[in-house]
A and B are shown apart, each in its own frame.
Chain A
Amino acid sequence: MATQGDSAVERFVRKSLLPVCIIAGVFVVSGFFFPSFVGSVVTGQGWLVVSLLFFGSGLSYLALLPVEYDVEETDARRDAPYLLRVRHLPWVETVRDFATRQDPILFGVGVGGIASFLALRVLVPNGTVAAVGAVRDVLLNDLGWVFLGAMVLAVVYCLFLLVGPWGAIRLGGPDAEPTYTYPTYFAMFFTAGIAAGIVFWGPAEALFHYQTPPPFFDVEPQSDAAVVAALTYALFHWGLSAWSAYIVIGVPIAYFVYQRGAPLRVSSILTPFLGVENLGSYWGKLVDVLAIFATIGGVATSVAFVSKQFLTGIQYQWGVTYGALGPVLFVAGLTVIYVISAESGVHRGIRRIAGVNLVLFVLFGLLLFAVSPRDAVLSWGTTALGTYATSFVPMSLYTGGEWVAGWTVWNWSWWFSWAPFAGLFLAALSRGRRIRTVVFTGAVATSAATVVWFLLLGGTSLSLQHSGTANILGSIATHGGSEAVAGYPLFSALPLSQLLIFLFLALIIVFITTSADTSTLVVTILSTRRNLAPTTGSIVFWGVFQGVVAVAVLLIGGGESLQAVAVLTGGPFAVISLVALVGLTRAVLHDEGGQSSLRARIRRRGSERGPNGPRED
């Protein structure tokens, strides 16, 4: 029995977190159970601070709990030298050690690029915004077909991997054992691949489409037909297509890492063109730098936006106002949580918080289903699912108009910009799994979860809006069209509203944490030199850097333009995904074709699979 995570530093942090968590917990619990007594004593700001302290310290404590494992190996290897370093090395040495571990180009261009964009945004605000806007218009409007086409290809390729013979390939060789059990695997990938957007857009997206129906469905706004059209498009934007973007980056990385011995980096998708030795060339670095831009830009802006939306919601619901400092403090708190989670490791913080996230997600779904107008949700849901299935192909190919550019193409670009980090994480977790399992988990199971979520939340909010029970659209309109407020009027109109809103806020925090901790880890891996382990120092650096970018976005107010830039990095990745698919196809054809093992195996399996033929899996 050995223990990991029992170093003196961690023990100290754990010990100091526990009382904070308990005291804040007592406040939160008493506020929940005795609103009439406690509610008047504590102010709105006080509540926010106390509940964030409660969530934050609880999650961090959970992340830092030690893990015990049976094999006596690698024990204290990471802890001991780290502690020694803390005691004996002067800070210059620490910095030098940190610096020598970083890849100079990736680190320098990554940090410098983002910093200089922010500087430009401050110095020449109008010019930057105009430039970004122009690029954005060109990409979304004129080149929208690239995104749509890449996404269609991604879905087709996923379906091919799912049903085709290549799905049987086990990553890491036929004898490789998966490290993570299936629930862990699913929970970690699902929660990393989707951020708090799902929480905000869940009740909101279908409503927007209900108000302004997609031109693909020629329906009257706010009519019965618009309900189904709106739900269908919400499913389309968050369903199978979206998750396929992760697969077409993730599976090629996994294949080249486990079958060809390429390093665990996004640039590994270039293996069939450059070879494993030459992945460090400028083409490889370019892909990795783009991945760093996309990840830091994408996740940092998400952190900033989520903080703003979170506080907008609080302001709407309880009338509590915050100055400019509120969001900054919120981002700082989030940063602490996700840095601790990322630092504690994949099998500790990231796994546990993913677990908490999934449990809360399911619990919230069940509770909402219990109190929602079930008949309406079920009947509209089945109709929308049917429409989604039958109109999937035409919707995917539909290129018409401003609406598609603003919603579908923008969404696809957003998903592609998250693809490098989500795909790399998927690849990292997938050793020992069959490609079919990877695709099934990464695209089918995850999209099933989001589809159910959007049917439930979208269906409920549409049902309340359509029947006039709650005027959610009115609330959104009075708050400048912000999707952040949609949840509150919705839950207030339902039974158990207090509990639902409480869980809703908790979900926002865990969802953004589970994405930000993974993105921190991935960027750290990318910026560290090949063959070196990411150290605590570099994880903390990138986590804090991500937080600083988020704060900068909040303070400068360049959120929209930075988010646009981050999302537009999806453009290159839409193209890179095509390259990856070509590379994967060539490589698998070469590997499997050369040895003809696969064909032989298929033939063998085909003959074995009689009525009750034995199956391998």
Chain B
Amino acid sequence: MAGDVPGPDSDSALDEMFYRTERVQFVYWRQFSGAKTTVMLTTAIAVLAFVTGLSDLSQATVELNGPLATFLPGPSDAVRLYGVFFAFIVGGLTVGLQRRVRLAWYGTVVALPMIALLPLLTADSTDIPLLLATMVAFPLVVYNRGKFDKPIDLSPFQTAALTAFVAVQIYGTLGTYAMRDRYTGIASVTDAFYYIIVTGTTVGYGDATPTDPLTKLFTVSVIVLGTGSFTLASGSLLIPALESRISAAFGNMTASELTLLEDHVLVLGYSELTEPLIDVLAPATDVVVVTPDAESASELTEFDVNVLTDDPTDEETLLDARVDTAKGVVVAGDDDAQDVLMILAARQANPDVRIVAAANDQKHVDKLEGVGADTVISPTLIGGQMLGQSILDEDDDPV
């Protein structure tokens, strides 16, 4: 027994290869179970459903061999449209999920099981990947429910327009179906719905037509209400979205975006300090930068901050940027004289708000304090001190 030396003599090089200080997991769940993965998987399902749907359409016949095939009501040919139809629905929901909208989450929870029905109906080789993908995605969607919590904030006008649009479709479909005897070419609810859509979108193929005065008047009402509500709904929903996109491009916030601000931090002026400042602030709180310079404003829109292109020395501008509900104001322009005016404006607009200012010139620290800044920092002073410290005691990392 010569081997009794219990030894630390193990191969350290091999240690590095096989033994890590942290646990090696099979799958790093935390890395793969977040909201981001959920959105990506749902997107993948939308694409997969589209491809599967196209594949079903391209086949000569679709046979229903699945375990649920016997429960399918209606014609089996409808199955061929199933995949593509849900692909578009899930695709739309993904956009909502990306914005963490609660409603999109509910929609996804309903849509994914509906998609999973397709493979269970057909039991086709090409549909099975879809089933597997939904089986992976669904638990993940449910698990991440808390992360999709943004409500949809529709204005009363938008709500009314949407409601009117939906109501007209129901009114038209039910009315047409009730009076189907007085129409040519309408026998079922599907026909009635088809007729209303064709009429309301002013397509009007003419295969289904009213035959007597009552149904003609009814059709006129559907045309007027239908096209009107469609225009209103699309206008009220799309135009604000376009507007905010356009204004974002110019660094201007819309009035509705501004009204939502609360407990945010205002950054007045633009200088070399602004970008590192935003790096610190942006993860922690909402930030609104107010600068008169459109060029620097457009640079800043690449960061995830709100930018208001207007004069920060003007009280009105600061009130637009909701200085009254702000948590604090940082004044960091590249001209101390302008900074003084900004501090004065901010102080007048909100006497209680905390104002922090950066003095470009060390001599101006007390002046900025004099006009109402709560704290004034001189970046050059601090930088110089740190430089000095770090050369003297090199062991200490001043940062």
Taking beta carbons and an 8 Å cutoff, which residues of A are in contact with B? Answer: 29, 32-34, 36-37, 69-71, 73-74, 78, 177-181, 183-184, 187, 256-264, 271-272, 274-278, 345-347, 351, 355, 363, 367, 428-429, 431, 495-499, 525, 530-534, 587, 590
Beyond A179-B24, A180-B24, A262-B3, is A534–B17 a contact (Cβ under 8 Å)? yes
Q: Judging by beta carbons under 8 Å apart, are B7 and A34 in contact? A: no
Q: With contacts A179-B18, A181-B26, A351-B24 known, is A33 near B6, CB below 8 A?
A: no
**Chain A residues in 8 Å Cβ range of B6:** 259-261
- Does the CB pair B20–A276 fall under 8 Å? no
B2 and A277 contact, CB distance less than 8 A: yes
A177 to chain B: closest residue by CB: B23
A211 to B39, CA, bound (A): 53
Flag if A34 contacts B58 (CB, 8 Å).
yes
What are the residues of chain B within 8 A of A32 when measuring CB–CB?
Answer: 125-126
Pairs across A and B, CB under 8 Å, 22 listed: A33-B126, A73-B21, A178-B23, A179-B19, A179-B23, A180-B23, A184-B25, A258-B10, A260-B3, A260-B4, A261-B9, A261-B10, A263-B10, A275-B3, A276-B7, A278-B2, A345-B17, A495-B123, A496-B125, A499-B125, A499-B129, A532-B13
Taking a contact as CB atoms under 8 Å apart, the answer to whether B58 and A184 are in contact is no
Closest CB-CB distance, A563 to chain B, in whole Å?
30
Asked if B23 contacts A181 (CB within 8 A), the reply is yes
For window 51-81 of B, CB contacts with A under 8 Å fall at 51-52, 54-55, 58-59, 65
B26 touches A496 (CB 8 A): no
- Whether A429 lies near B2 (C-beta < 8 A) is no
Quick one: closest B residue to A534, CB to CB?
A: B17
Report A347 CB to chain B, min CB distance, Å. 5
List A contacts of B123 (CB < 8 A): 495-496
Give the contacting residue for B1; candidates A259, A272, A532; CB below 8 A: A272
Which A-B residue pairs are the 3 nearest by beta carbons? A275-B2, A261-B7, A533-B13
Tell me whether A181 and B24 are in contact (CB under 8 A): yes
Interface pair B11/A530, CB less than 8 Å apart: yes
Could you say which residues of chain A place their CB within 8 Å of the CB of B238?
A: none
Taking the nearest CB of chain A, how far is it from the CB of B3, in angstroms? 5
Cross-chain contact A36 with B13 (CB below 8 angstroms): no
**Cβ A346 vs Cβ B18 within 8 A:** yes
Report if B22 contacts A (CB, 8 A).
Answer: yes
Of A256, A345, A498, which contacts B3 at CB under 8 A?
A256
- Measured between beta carbons, the chain B residues less than 8 angstroms from A272 are 1, 3
Q: How large is the interface on B (under 10, 10 to 19, 20 to 34, 35 or more residues)?
A: 35 or more
> B128 in the interface, Cβ–Cβ < 8 Å?
yes
Which residues of B93-151 have CB atoms within 8 Å of chain A's CB atoms?
Answer: 123, 125-126, 128-129, 132
Interface of B is mostly: loop
Nearest chain A residue, comparing its CB with the CB of B4: A260
Closest B residue to A274 by beta carbon equals B2
Query: In the complex, A62 Cα to B227 Cα: how many Å?
Result: 53
A264 touches B128 (CB 8 A): no
**Partner of A347 from B11, B24, B51, B125 at Cβ < 8 Å:** B24
B16 neighbours in A (Cβ, 8 Å): 74, 78, 533
B52's partner among A33, A70, A178, A363 (CB-CB below 8 A) is A33
Pairwise interchain contact A497-B19, C-beta atoms closer than 8 A = no
Distance between Cα atoms of A590 and B128 in the complex (Å): 58
Known: A181-B24, A181-B26, A276-B3. A533 touches B14 (CB 8 A): yes
B10 to A184, Cβ gap below 8 A?
no
* Interface check B260, CB cutoff 8 A: no
- Evaluate contact between A276 and B17: CB separation under 8 angstroms: no
Q: Per a CB cutoff under 8 Å, which of B12, B20, B23 touches A531?
A: B12
CB neighbours of B51 from chain A (8 A):
29, 33
CB-CB under 8 A from B18, the residues of chain A are 179, 264, 346, 428-429, 431
Seed contacts A276-B2, A534-B13; 19 additional CB < 8 Å A-B pairs? A32-B126, A36-B59, A71-B21, A181-B24, A181-B26, A183-B26, A259-B6, A260-B7, A261-B7, A261-B9, A264-B11, A275-B3, A276-B5, A276-B9, A495-B123, A498-B126, A499-B129, A533-B17, A534-B17
List the A side residues contacting B1 at CB < 8 Å.
272, 275, 590
For B16, the closest partner residue in chain A by CB is A74
Interface centre among A180, A187, A532, A534 (most CB of B within 10 A): A180
In the complex, the answer to whether A263 meets B11 with C-beta atoms within 8 Å is yes
Of residues B13, B26, B52, B125, which shows the largest number of chain A Cβ atoms within 10 Å of its Cβ? B26
Expressed in whole angstroms, the minimum distance between the Cβ of B396 and any Cβ of chain A is 19
Which residue on chain B has the smallest CB distance to residue A186?
B26
Contact B10 A33 (CB under 8 A): no
Chain A minimum-CB-distance residue to B55: A33
Choose one: A260, A351, A497; the contact of B125 (CB below 8 Å). Answer: A497
The answer to whether the Cβ of B8 comes within 8 Å of any Cβ in the partner chain is yes
Query: In the complex, what residues of A have CB within 8 A of residue B126's CB?
Result: 32-33, 498-499
> Taking the nearest CB of chain B, how far is it from the CB of A432, in angstroms?
9
Instruction: Write out the residue numbers on chain B whose beta carbons fall within 8 Å of the beta carbon of A345.
Output: 17
Contact residues in B for A263 (Cβ distance below 8 Å): 10-11, 14
Closest chain B CB from A311 CB (angstroms) = 23
Chain B's closest residue to A586 (CB) is B1
**Is B387 interfacial (CB 8 A cutoff)?**
no
Chain A CB within 8 A of B27 CB: yes
Of B5, B25, B65, the residue contacting A181 (CB under 8 A) is B25
Least distance between B95 CB and chain A CB atoms (Å): 23
B20 partner residues in chain A, CB cutoff 8 A: 69, 179, 347
Q: Are A498 and B125 in contact (CB under 8 A)?
A: yes
Determine the distance from Cα of A554 to Cα of B249 in the docked complex, in whole angstroms.
64
Contact A264–B125 (Cβ < 8 Å): no
By beta carbon, the residue of chain A nearest B66 is A495
Check B58 against A36 for contact (C-beta < 8 Å): yes
Q: Which residues of A contact B128 (CB under 8 A)?
A: 367, 496, 499
Q: How far is the CA of A363 from the CA of B25 in the complex (A)?
A: 20
In the bound complex, what is the Cα–Cα distance between A499 and B51 (angstroms)? Answer: 16
Distance between Cα atoms of A71 and B19 in the complex (Å): 13
Cα-based distance from A426 to B395 in the complex (angstroms): 45
Smallest CB separation, B6 vs chain A (Å): 6
* A315 CA to B8 CA, complexed, in Å: 55
| B325 vs chain A, min Cβ distance (A) | 37
Query: Contact: A264 with B10, CB < 8 Å?
Result: yes
Cα A181 to Cα B27 in complex, Å, equals 10
Q: Report the separation of the CA atoms of residues A390 and B8 in the bound assembly, to the nearest whole angstrom.
A: 47
* Chain A residue at minimum C-beta to C-beta distance from B2: A275
How far, in Å, is B190 (CB) from chain A's closest CB?
29
- Neighbouring B residues of A275 by C-beta, 8 Å: 1-3
Interchain nearest-CB distance for A483 vs B (Å): 25
Q: Is the CB of B22 within 8 A of A69?
A: yes
- Contact present for B21 and A531 (CB under 8 Å): no
A535 to chain B, nearest CB (A): 10
A355 B2 Cβ-Cβ under 8 A: no
Residues of A near B10 (CB, < 8 A) are: 257-258, 261, 263-264
Complex-state Cα separation, A331 to B47, whole angstroms = 34
Q: Closest chain B residue to A346 by CB distance? A: B18
- Cβ of A402 to closest chain B Cβ, rounded Å: 43
CA distance A346 to B15 in the complex (A): 11
How near does chain A come to B329, taking the closest CB pair, in angstroms? 34
Query: What B residues does A531 contact at CB under 8 A?
Result: 11-13
Residues of A within 8 A of B23 (CB): 177-181
> In the bound complex, what is the Cα–Cα distance between A183 and B129 (angstroms)?
24
- A262: chain B residues at CB < 8 Å are 3
Please, which residues of chain A bring their CB within 8 A of the CB of B25? 181, 183-184
Residues of A within 8 A of B11 (CB): 263-264, 530-533
- Known contacts A33-B55, A531-B12: does B26 contact A187 (CB below 8 Å)? yes
Task: List chain A residues, Cβ under 8 A from B54.
Answer: 33-34
Q: Bound complex: CA of A496 vs CA of B126, how far in Å? A: 8
Kindly state the separation between the CA atoms of A36 and B54 in the bound complex, as whole angstroms: 12
Q: Among the listed A261, A428, A496, A499, which residue makes an inter-chain contact with B8, where contact means beta carbons less than 8 Å apart?
A: A261
| Contact assessment for A495 and B65 in the assembled complex, using a CB-CB cutoff below 8 Å | yes
Measured in the bound complex, the distance between the Cα atoms of B129 and A591 in whole Å is 55
Q: Whole-angstrom distance from the CB of A343 to the nearest CB of chain B? A: 11
Q: Complex: how many Å from CA A277 to CA B21?
A: 28
Q: Report the minimum CB–CB distance from A15 to chain B (whole Å).
A: 20
CB distance from A568 to the nearest CB of B (A): 30
